[in-house]
């Protein structure tokens, strides 16, 4: 079976055949689409079963669906910090950067609405419950720099490796194993860093001094600065002929073509707001760190006391023998990414070389240590933190972005 050209679409030599780049539907496409639909059905069924299970409940079910939505959006919109900053620093293409800016702007607006409903007096001295508002310490800056270096060296951030795992990336496996090991290293260095900086560091929350509306205005203004500066690095897009809207065209837009940048960012922002409103701030490291902490605690490797660690919100780790809500989010993310990749022929097993495995493992160590030290990663500290008007999110970004620039400049991603 072959796909017929859309009305008004270009053809080859007036023959009525689709152009060379057009995709022809095959029996394999039917199989891949059927598998993707089965995976979607499994996610929905899993959410129903989790909702009715006393050991898990509604939070687990909702987190599974949030993870699936995040996996689909990240896979279809290529919401990957490695890809976005590689395009910016190596290819001078800022297109993907606007997805991050849109996610922050939409998320901050959503958080402002939530805070206005549940925090009637932001100047009273308290912080909104559960929001990712971390300490403003030099350790967060250092963690951001380590994390950024790990992104370049391993080929992705933690969330990026998870969704690319759904696309068949074998390199994501050593990267995530390295991340777990990096968390272990972070636990071993935690007490020294906590006593040196974190124990006395403030946790500034902009609405406490500016009010919610003022904090939102300042955040949007701060995001507008890079948005304007990056305009010069937007590639010129060739004019495209108007096409009739057809079901086939809509289908290709959903499963084949990359989703628009601003739409992708806006959806990530909305998913983050929904996650915070219903369960906890969006993040992808809580389960990884908690599983590592549980194993090391059982083995007697960790210090008897991890000073102050359990007082932090966001992606802080716990000792737990069960799958946390964040664990179900991660499962949903990987499966959702796989379901999104299959119909568009983007699932393929990526070959893993020995140098690639080593660099992914070493990069993962930096990712894990940075995420442990900052109590979160690019999704947890940067996105959820800035959206919640926490200064710690900007500090993490201030360490992350220069490290990404330097890493790409040194060619660490080619190791």
**Residue-wise DSSP of 241-254:** ------HHHHHHHH
Q: Is the pLDDT of residue 80 over 70?
A: yes
Q: How many domains does the chain contain in total?
A: 1
Answer whether residue 3 is part of any domain.
Answer: no
Q: For residue 72, count CB atoms less than 10 angstroms from its CB and return exposed for 0-12, middle for 13-18, buried for 19 or more.
A: buried
Coil, strand, or helix at residue 390? Answer: strand
Residue 10 located in a structural domain: no
Determine if the pTM surpasses 0.85: yes
- Distance in angstroms (rounded) separating the CA atoms of residues 360 and 354: 10
Nearest to 165 by CA among 336, 408, 367, 45: 336
The pLDDT of 16-29, averaged and rounded, is 63
Q: Is the Cβ–Cβ distance between 281 and 275 less than 8 Å?
A: yes
Closest CA to 151 of 77, 83, 78, 67: 83
If you average pLDDT over residues 148-175, what whole number do you get? 97
Residue for token pair 């951001």: 144
Q: Is residue 393 part of a domain?
A: yes
Q: Terminus-to-terminus CA distance in the chain, angstroms?
A: 43
b/e map 238-247, b = 16+ CB within 10 Å: eeeeeeeeee
Copy the structure tokens of residue 52.
């009715």
**Which residues form the domain of 384?**
27-235+259-414
* Distance, CA of 75 to CA of 61 (rounded, Å): 21
The pLDDT of residue 13 is 37
Euclidean distance between CA atoms 190 and 399, whole angstroms: 19
Q: Look up residue 133 and give its DSSP letter.
A: -
The helix or strand, by DSSP H or E, that contains position 333, with its residue range, turns out to be: helix 325-341
Confidence grade of residue 1 (pLDDT, cut at 50, 70, 90) = very low
Is position 61 within any domain? yes
Structural domain contains residue 278: yes
Residue 16: per-residue pLDDT: 35
Q: What is the pLDDT of residues 287-341, one digit of tens each?
A: 999 999 999 999 999 998 999 998 887 777 888 778 999 999 999 999 999 999 9
- The answer as to whether 21 is a domain residue is no
Chain mean position to CA 150: 15
- Does 379 fall in a domain? yes
Q: At what angle do helices 207-229 and 97-118 cross, to 10 degrees?
A: 160
Q: Does residue 222 belong to any structural domain of this protein? A: yes
């Amino acid at each position: 079976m072959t796909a017929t050209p859309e009305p008004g679409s270009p053809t080859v030599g007036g023959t009525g055949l689709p152009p060379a780049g057009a995709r022809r539907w095959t029996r394999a496409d039917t199989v891949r689409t059927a598998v993707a639909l089965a995976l979607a059905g499994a996610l929905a069924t899993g959410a129903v079963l989790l909702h009715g299970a006393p050991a898990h409940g509604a939070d687990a079910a909702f987190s599974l669906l949030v993870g699936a939505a995040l996996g689909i959006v990240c896979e279809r919109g290529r919401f990957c910090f490695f890809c976005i900053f590689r395009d910016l620093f190596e290819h001078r293409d800022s297109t993907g950067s606007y997805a991050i800016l849109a996610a922050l702007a939409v998320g901050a607006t959503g958080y402002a609405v939530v805070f206005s409903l549940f925090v009637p007096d932001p100047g009273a001295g308290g912080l909104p419950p559960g929001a990712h508002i971390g300490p403003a310490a030099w350790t967060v800056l250092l963690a951001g720099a380590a994390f950024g270096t790990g992104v370049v060296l391993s080929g992705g951030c933690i969330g990026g490796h998870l969704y690319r795992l759904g696309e068949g990336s074998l390199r994501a496996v050593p990267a995530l194993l390295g991340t777990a090991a990096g968390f272990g290293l972070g636990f071993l260095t935690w007490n020294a860093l906590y006593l040196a900086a974190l124990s006395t560091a403030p946790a500034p929350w902009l609405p406490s001094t500016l009010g919610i509306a003022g904090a939102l205005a300042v955040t949007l203004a701060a995001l507008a600065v890079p948005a304007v500066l990056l305009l010069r690095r937007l590639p010129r897009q060739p004019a495209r002929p108007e096409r009739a809207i057809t079901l086939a065209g809509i289908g290709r837009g959903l499963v084949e073509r990359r989703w628009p940048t601003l739409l992708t960012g806006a959806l990530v922002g909305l998913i983050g707001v929904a996650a915070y409103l219903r369960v906890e701030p969006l993040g992808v490291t809580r389960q990884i760190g908690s599983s590592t902490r549980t194993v090391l605690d059982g083995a007697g490797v960790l210090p008897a006391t991890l000073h102050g660690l359990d007082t932090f919100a966001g992606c802080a780790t716990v000792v737990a023998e069960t799958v946390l809500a964040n664990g179900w989010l991660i499962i949903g993310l990987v499966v959702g990414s796989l379901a999104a990749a299959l119909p568009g022929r983007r699932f393929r097993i990526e070959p893993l070389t020995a140098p690639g495995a080593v660099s992914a493992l070493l990069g993962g160590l930096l990712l894990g240590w940075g995420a442990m030290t900052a109590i979160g990663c690019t999704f947890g500290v940067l996105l959820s933190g800035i959206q919640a008007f926490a200064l710690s999110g900007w500090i993490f970004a201030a360490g992350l972005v220069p490290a990404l620039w330097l890493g790409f400049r040194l060619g660490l991603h080619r190791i």
